[in-house]
Structure 1
């Protein structure tokens, strides 16, 4: 098996081979590090790397498997950890010059669980500054690029995680999603991304109490996403928002024959790129071939949805950055500074109005999901924006029509608003520019297994990604 084949091996397969002693964690780590060193300058997926320590930990994992000792469910896997969460004693920058010298004093709950399960944090993955954009570049780390076409972004804010997976430099990776930050990059890089329902996975304060905010996995396969999600999920003593009892997702599911899918191409108001439309329709044909019923529906949502969602982000997320303007404005990126200034203008009445919009939205979707098993729609309305796109200054058009440059080109924010609904993003194809496109599978509130049932069935029947050199990015 060539080194690239090792680098793109599913995490679940790697664990199986570790246990069978037909593959060593050391072999896998060596291959992944070599791959990272070969492609980092092209893709720029990583910020900090911990390769020497990772090799030491891989040797310890190898010894555990060799001796038949008890191993964690992630034992020996190289896992990209988003440079936003914390690992005690290690640097975390949040993509910002302001934090370039910060060393974490504690380990974030999701990372604590990953490390306890034997996962190896060989590298930290790039983010836009403070994770406040749908693309990934910063003054501190430069531009992160899409491995499928480096002129374009891998998405954001978990763009480094997605770029790493697509370029074969992590087995699985972590992300966080406050407006689509797991799903946007998963779609743009041809990956599986899961936004769990609010409270399913723990997070650091204060954003653990922000119901738009979710931590979750990015992966190259559905099984790998399940593997990491089952480690990340469950109640946490330091996070009052986390749900009891822990939900453990099954790894096998019944067929979807006879099940019902509600479908919307535009959620009522998005302008959707023609390549995205074509690939979405092709994906729906895969579901039909599996015996599912697909019906187009009208949700009755309007541009008010996007406006309200952005008003909410301004009030909490933007306002949380506003305190940096007086002392750190010059160090901030243009887009983070613009977002912070928007937060300064937000009013409590604006925030309260967004809650009414969420109720209005669910008054449409809730009853619909009593008649249908899931809702499917595109993930990104445009495959991706340019790698160096700046939402604070650049204009954006889809099909020749102007759209909001911040979040008007992605269709993810409505499901942060409806945060108790699980959402699984799956690849739907590639656009003419080579950039992948994706679909969102939206489930009933807290019905996580439903979206994975559909995702698993779709993955088994759809064209395969990453299996061979011919189906991987050419780097």
Structure 2
């Protein structure tokens, strides 16, 4: 494999290609990290994707990886020397995980999150912490603590949220891999708007801490990358049972990194999940995806779902009752500046009654029944990730409005056992990428990667923003 001759090309090298070059001694982890640090130095003033960097420790880790490759006979780990950015949620000892809020103070982390530890154990070089909206409660990335994060494809537009910094950093070539979390679409929204790949794993696949988050069935932690293969590679590292999370499932799953053809698969197609108003650019991109899958031998057929706007009510009532009330108490008890949308979310949460919260189970049950009938005769469902082609980088004062109208992601947080992969499939008229979701049967990550790889090969093929 020829080594890229320019620094900018190095920045966009896939993890899979980088690992091969490292093993062949044609590229050093130090060279790759230096290229991405230089890219960040150039672009960060415009993008604001990072809330922190750990340059000295990252360079030390890259040099240690370089030495492991140089020794030849030393055992090499799955991500040896690969740069990874952590979402400002996944704790790392000595770092300050702010969650995008001044309410968190400045106390250094004293424990590594399970995903952090697994990345370190796999040889990853963690070099940056990525920006988030306050307490992750927005589909854009803005906070009073860390400012506004912008989309590398169109600086006026949002990269999405809440893993918006991770999406922007990947799209801009400032990291090779990144972590994300997804409680209503927070991996898939930025994956869609930034033209990268993001997986919401099945609930229980990737360990979550603390225990309150682990038992929140809408909450998922997962990988983000520029390619489906890299996303699968990272998923294989971070998934599996963990003693701190009683919800994690056994055994650990190893998905194939060489994807079988999609010929013969039966794939359901929905343009609107029965209740979204979908932009014409998004519809066209999904039709192109469907046609590309048909040309590869898959059977792709439109289906009807009996879902409606009660799904939006259910997700906002569950989030409001379980987390909005917590934020309300913290905002009232502490004197610190907070973002407008988190105050609105907290106020809305106080209005949700116990009866409304319990009634969401009936809505979720009906949706699961509908999905079970669909999956009995199909291997997967494809649909848009976002109904819109983006919104302003600054977002709104009420984050629930954007979630309700634009994000076609949250139904699959209610149906949390279904894995969902967002894959880039085109670019809208405003320059913002368009993502397609691949929804698998429960606990079947292998199929979503398989179908996602077919979409990527036909419809995306490594496009990047003109920075």
The TM-score, its normalising length taken from structure 2, stands at 0.97
Deviation per CA, 1:340-365, whole angstroms, max 9, x where unpaired? 11222222222211111111001111
Counterpart in 1 of 2:465? Answer: 473
Counterpart in 1 of 2:61? Answer: 57
Range that drifts further, 333-342 or 163-172:
333-342
Report 1:195-274 matches (<5 A).
Answer: 195-205=200-210, 206-274=212-280
Counterpart in 2 of 1:363? Answer: 369
**Distance (Å, rounded) in 2 between the aligned partners of 1:200 and 1:356:** 25
| SS across alignment from 1:404 | helix
Counterpart in 1 of 2:343? Answer: 337
Report 1:305-320 matches (<5 A).
Answer: 305-320=311-326
**Distance (Å, rounded) in 1 between the aligned partners of 2:373 and 2:196:** 30
| SS across alignment from 1:407 | helix
Match of 2:334 among 328, 335, 340: 328
| SS across alignment from 1:216 | strand
Counterpart in 2 of 1:131? Answer: 136
Range that drifts further, 66-75 or 186-195:
66-75
| SS across alignment from 2:376 | helix
**Distance (Å, rounded) in 2 between the aligned partners of 1:405 and 1:164:** 23
**Distance (Å, rounded) in 2 between the aligned partners of 1:321 and 1:15:** 43
Range that drifts further, 292-301 or 171-180:
292-301
**Distance (Å, rounded) in 2 between the aligned partners of 1:23 and 1:427:** 28
| Aligned alpha-carbon RMSD (Å) | 1.3
Q: CA deviation at 1:253?
A: 2.6
Q: CA deviation at 1:329?
A: 6.2
**Distance (Å, rounded) in 2 between the aligned partners of 1:261 and 1:195:** 19
**Distance (Å, rounded) in 1 between the aligned partners of 2:335 and 2:275:** 35
Deviation per CA, 1:145-184, whole angstroms, max 9, x where unpaired? 0000000000000000000000000001000000000000
Counterpart in 1 of 2:433? Answer: 436
The TM-score, its normalising length taken from structure 1, stands at 0.95
**Residues 1:459 and 2:450 are matched in the alignment:** no
**Residues 1:7 and 2:2 are matched in the alignment:** no
Match of 1:110 among 111, 115, 122: 115
Report 1:92-107 matches (<5 A).
Answer: 92-107=97-112
Q: CA deviation at 1:330?
A: 5.0
Counterpart in 2 of 1:398? Answer: none
Q: Is the 8 A contact 1:134 1:407 kept in 2?
A: no
Alignment length, in residue pairs? 461
**Residues 1:386 and 2:392 are matched in the alignment:** yes
| SS across alignment from 2:157 | coil
Q: CA deviation at 1:295?
A: 1.1
**Distance (Å, rounded) in 1 between the aligned partners of 2:219 and 2:325:** 15
Give the gaps of 5 or more residues in structure 2.
none
Deviation per CA, 1:239-259, whole angstroms, max 9, x where unpaired? 100001111111123211121
**Distance (Å, rounded) in 2 between the aligned partners of 1:406 and 1:334:** 16
Counterpart in 2 of 1:425? Answer: 422
Range that drifts further, 103-112 or 451-460:
451-460
- In structure 2, the CA distance between the partners of 1:101 and 1:194, relative to structure 1 (3 Å rule), is same
Deviation per CA, 1:117-140, whole angstroms, max 9, x where unpaired? 111110000000011100001111
